[in-house]
Amino acid sequence: MVDIRDLHVSYEGEEVLHGIDAHFPKGKISVVIGPNGSGKSTTIKAMMRLIESDSGSVEIGGEPVSGLSQTELARRMAYIPQGRNIPDITVNRMVMHGRFPYLSYPRRYRPEDREMVGKALEWVGLIELSHKKMSQLSGGQRQKVYLAMALAQDTEVILMDEPTTYLDIKNQFELLDRARLLAEEGKTIIMILHDLESVLRYADHVVLMDAGKLTASGPAREVLGSEALKKAFGIELSFIETEDGVHCFVKR
Ligand code: ADP
């Protein structure tokens, strides 16, 4: 569904992505893993055209994103960035932002926009908090608001940069369970995660980055057990199978 081909990206003349090729299947959760500084965020930002690439391409359903206007791109791909400043607006207004790509100038919300926003807030279970300020919510609730905003944006693809950071374990699972439901509905979910146990539990497809290159991709168990993972993180994982599924821990 989303394909990256030979993507090169530099910051101030210094190349940090050295030719990435990746495929992210439709209706699946793909997770990008890799050590700090390996290029995960840069890849996601380049997919969203938030930073310019030197060469290569990103395609959605075979269509290069470089040929889309910002508005067209925002109708196809939503992006939930890493922890950010908390905007001084209500939950409802925040989720309304997801409808911007569908409004013509001057921005006037239509009944269908309000309906989609209501549905999205209901889906994440926050409808009764819609008049609260973002600053009045817990971290877990705020992250659900961003997910609702991405839903209201009604895109085929949702990119999430470390969506579970700062969330307690229950909220982490809740967020990832919701991501799973969205994938089952046919959305292409691409996220960066650090917790390898969650990767094992939730990822349908894993992409490993190391020093600006993609060094492994495939099913979670395969990538987490690969030589490339040992090399990237300098650790080796052991796996145990329980009735609840496969788990991993770091070998010492
Ligand atoms: P990750 O998300 O895997 O931690 P990043 O994509 O943030 O990695 O970073 C990849 C490389 O690019 C790192 O070497 C980092 O220092 C560098 N980098 C990231 N953002 C910038 C920036 N705005 N300016 C210059 N260098 C950057």
Nearest-CA neighbor of 182 among 207, 202, 208, 206? 202
Are 11 and 182 a contacting pair, CB within 8 Å? Answer: no
Is 238 within a domain? no
Tell me the sheet residues that pair with 205: 30
Residues 160 and 72 in one domain: yes
Say how many Å lie between the CA of residue 2 and the centre of ligand 1.
Answer: 22
CA pair distance 129, 96, nearest whole angstrom: 14
Q: Of 109, 126, 154, which residue constitutes the final position of a domain?
A: 154
Say how many Å lie between the CA of residue 111 and the centre of ligand 1.
Answer: 41
pLDDT at 252 over 80: no
Nearest CA owner, ligand 1 atom 5: 39
Nearest CA owner, ligand 1 atom 15: 37
Residue 53: give its domain's CATH number: 3.40.50.300
Residues 53 and 146 in one domain: no
Q: What is the mean predicted confidence (pLDDT) over 91-99?
A: 96
- Give the count of domains, the chain: 2
Is 240 within a domain? no
CA pair distance 49, 7, nearest whole angstrom: 12
Residues 61 and 118 in one domain: no
Residues 70 and 169 in one domain: yes
| Residues listed for the chain | 252
pTM above 0.85, yes or no: yes
Say how many Å lie between the CA of residue 43 and the centre of ligand 1.
Answer: 10
- What band does 88 get if pLDDT is binned at 50, 70 and 90? very high
CB neighbour burial string for 62-87, b if at least 16 within 10 angstroms, e if fewer: eeebeebeeeebbbbbbbbbeeeeee
Average pLDDT, the chain: 94
| Tens-place pLDDT, residues 97-113 | 999 999 987 778 999 99
Q: What pLDDT is stored for residue 8 in this prediction?
A: 98
Q: Of 119, 154, 189, which residue constitutes the final position of a domain?
A: 154
Q: Of 108, 127, 154, which residue constitutes the final position of a domain?
A: 154
Q: Which residues 6+ apart lie within 8 Å of 72 measured at CB?
A: none
Nearest CA owner, ligand 1 atom 22: 11
Is 39 within a domain? yes
Mutate to test the pocket of ligand 1, among 9, 17, 41 (most ligand atoms within 8 A of CB): 41
Question: In the numeric block, which tokens belong to residue 101?
Answer: 């790509």
Is 252 within a domain? no
Taking CA atoms, 91 is separated from 23, 98, 215, in Å, by 34, 12, 40
Question: In the numeric block, which tokens belong to residue 200?
Answer: 């094992």
Range of the domain at 108: 86-154
Q: What pLDDT is stored for residue 97 in this prediction?
A: 95
Say how many Å lie between the CA of residue 57 and the centre of ligand 1.
Answer: 19
